[in-house]
Structure 1
Amino acid sequence: MTKRVAMREAVPEDLPALRALARTSLVHDSDAEAIVELLWSSAAEGCRIVLEHTDADDDADGTGGTRIIGFALGSLRPAHDALPATGHVELIIVDPEHRELGHGRELLADLERRLIAAGATRLRIRGNPPHFAWPGIDIRYTPAVCMAAAAGYERLLDCNSMLVDLAAADLATEKDEQRLTEAGIEVRRGRPEDEQALRAWCDEEFGGTWGQEAAMALRTSPPTLHVAVRDGAYLGFAGHGMQRADMFGPMGTAEAARGHGIGAVLLRRCLADQRDAGIEVAEIGWVGPARFYSKTVGARLGRVFWAFEKSVAA
């Protein structure tokens, strides 16, 4: 029997097959199907590819011998603020039955070519906010780490997430909210009409993509974002579920408003939302102040991610 593989650009009709492959392969991510949807929606034009395997004799007989055995998704961050246009390798999956045959390397190489053709002058295996699933490669997916190194990627940085047992965590906020109220600070759920002003405040106060992510949370029903305000001015915000349902963050408090316990209240309100939605363990992604989360809600260090970068030859 003749067998062959071929690469082609993916189409929306391929999504059921991609979701099925993700369920089989993303063994450390229970929301594998949602991850595919997220990264598909943010992929760059031409940077959604599938690898098909054909049993040519069966196909000639009209028995449908072609099936998808792998796929890759990539996104592009345009040049900005003196930073070069960056191609992000978001996801590469190969059917377990077809691994160790070089298919992952073929998908990676083809995706790299497409990202470069789209304008990328550097390549990264790192989350591309505001639409990202991970900050890098979860090191438990060891073959992916090895493939990146073999393809010439250099380790850029390490990232950690923290996990919160929502049934065990103290998420009460009544006393702290009363204290803040007495200080003239209101803590409330965000509203759709907050979007323009909150995004502008986030952009000025924090930069990066937090304003975009806050806007995403305000568009859900109900909004998955909480804010602290005083005299109509924002002092802090925190959100959850912007990329993945069990993810918390980002969160930020204006420098001038720190020390009042605003962040702890916003954090607990978000985690209570997730608990009430039936989530058992929340993941705080891309963690900075680990001590704060550990002390406030008993968070523990969880997943470890390695981010990678590769220069594009001129």
Structure 2
Amino acid sequence: MTEVVYRHYASGDEKAIVELWNDCLHHDPITPLRFRNMVLLDANFDPEGLRLAFEGERLVGFVYSVRRLLPMVGTELEPDNGWITAFAVAPDKRRQGIGSRLVREAFDFLIRHGRKHVFFSSYAPNYFVPGVDEESYPEGYAFLLKHGFARLYSPVAMDYSLVRYSMPDDVKALKRAREAEGYAFGLAQDRDLVDVIRFAGDVFNPDWGRAIREGVLRGLPLSAIHVARENGRLVGFCMHAGYEGVAERFGPFGVDPSQQGKGLGKILLHDCLTNMRAQGLHGAWFLWTGETTTAGHLYKKLGFEITRRFHVCKKSFEN
């Protein structure tokens, strides 16, 4: 029997990692380009955190752990937190202790760098999925529970078919009424960028502001970003194609909390879907929302369907 050798990532391992990933994570395959962009080019990537198990020349398991080296906002490095964003063991090598050894090595890596908590897998900016999909990977979820993780909450992914979409008449009427009250809706222009990025990051999530800034730098057209203003003040935005340049990926999307209840989110959402359909897109989807949040209710009321459910999990290390 060939001995299993454990080590961290080294140059040249990429092809084997992507192949094992795609053999095991069948509902979440990646390409070499996506692995490069999301892992190797991540400013927070540390080769020591990508733990590998080899049987001879064959890669039979990996666990990818990461901690923040570059702040998401300001100088905040979240020094107590680390993340595991993906793991896999070859099907014929499971229940032999390989995954357990790899995850212990990932824990050791994070503990050496002062981390007190580890999450699966709510890591920004480069998460592949928000958490573990129990339906797709029941063994993976059981593995996390076995190693001390506990479920925190369960966001959902949703999809919406645009094939027969048209903006409802009541939304058109609502938009006209709000415009008569001083609201303005339109596509973003250069003069909107600073306000949109600041609004998205400060009011909602720093990752949203980052996604917009980096998306535009990568070539995201401003025609993918919709804005709402009240007498000149930005009060909401909605967009698509903001993540990895995937045109049908919807979001981020937000309305000033003080403006909620006026249907501004509904207007922005339908403006964006109308624009997506006009570009010939056949669907809209996103990975992460709270099922019972205001946005979640709006999506479901429109007709978005829940297509996946994820469990965000957390483990705290003992002192």
Flag whether TM exceeds 0.5 (same fold): yes
Any idea what SS the aligned residue of 1:211 has? helix
Deviations 1:123-161 (A, max 9, x none): 111311333222211112111111111111122222222
Q: 1:115 aligns with which of 99, 110, 117?
A: 110
Residues 285 and 25 from structure 1, CA distance in 2 versus in 1: closer, same or farther, beyond 3 angstroms? same
**Deviation, structure 1 residue 174:** 6.2
Q: 1:25 is matched with which residue? A: 24
Deviations 1:195-230 (A, max 9, x none): 433232234433553322332343333244322224
Q: 1:299 is matched with which residue? A: 304
Letter in 2 for 1:311: S
Deviations 1:3-47 (A, max 9, x none): 122222224532233222222222223556676445414354231
Contact in 2 for aligned 1:189/1:226 (Cα 8 Å): yes
Q: 2:54 is matched with which residue? A: 52
Contact in 2 for aligned 1:137/1:145 (Cα 8 Å): yes
Any idea what SS the aligned residue of 2:286 has? strand
Aligned equivalents of 1:291 and 1:210: distance in 2?
21
| Structure 2 unaligned residues grouped into runs of 5+ | none
Matches within 5 A, 1:120-199: 120-140=115-135, 141-171=137-167, 178-191=176-189, 194-199=192-197
Residues 169 and 29 from structure 1, CA distance in 2 versus in 1: closer, same or farther, beyond 3 angstroms? farther
TM-score with structure 2 length normalisation? Answer: 0.79
Q: 2:66 aligns with which of 75, 87, 106?
A: 75
Letter in 2 for 1:73: Y
Aligned equivalents of 2:276 and 2:91: distance in 1?
33
**Deviation, structure 1 residue 179:** 4.8
Letter in 2 for 1:261: G
Matches within 5 A, 1:277-292: 278=281, 280=283, 282-287=285-290, 288-289=293-294, 290-292=296-298
Residues 207 and 291 from structure 1, CA distance in 2 versus in 1: closer, same or farther, beyond 3 angstroms? closer
Q: 2:269 is matched with which residue? A: 267
Q: 1:229 is matched with which residue? A: 229
**Deviation, structure 1 residue 261:** 2.6
Aligned equivalents of 1:274 and 1:204: distance in 2?
27
Q: Structure 1 stretch 203-212 or stretch 27-36: which is displaced more?
A: 27-36
Q: 2:313 is matched with which residue? A: 308
What is the root-mean-square deviation in Å for CA atoms of aligned residues? 3.1
Aligned equivalents of 1:195 and 1:44: distance in 2?
29
Residues 251 and 68 from structure 1, CA distance in 2 versus in 1: closer, same or farther, beyond 3 angstroms? same
Any idea what SS the aligned residue of 1:138 has? coil
| Structure 1 unaligned residues grouped into runs of 5+ | 55-65
Q: 2:259 is matched with which residue? A: 257
Any idea what SS the aligned residue of 1:137 has? coil
Any idea what SS the aligned residue of 1:132 has? coil
Letter in 1 for 2:24: S
Residues 85 and 312 from structure 1, CA distance in 2 versus in 1: closer, same or farther, beyond 3 angstroms? same
Aligned equivalents of 2:183 and 2:312: distance in 1?
39
Any idea what SS the aligned residue of 1:107 has? helix
Letter in 2 for 1:239: M
Residues 247 and 75 from structure 1, CA distance in 2 versus in 1: closer, same or farther, beyond 3 angstroms? farther
Matches within 5 A, 1:237-252: 237-243=237-243, 245=246, 246-252=248-254
**Deviation, structure 1 residue 279:** 5.4
TM-score with structure 1 length normalisation? Answer: 0.81
Contact in 1 for aligned 2:211/2:242 (Cα 8 Å): yes
Count of matched residue pairs: 301
Letter in 1 for 2:286: E
Contact in 1 for aligned 2:84/2:120 (Cα 8 Å): yes
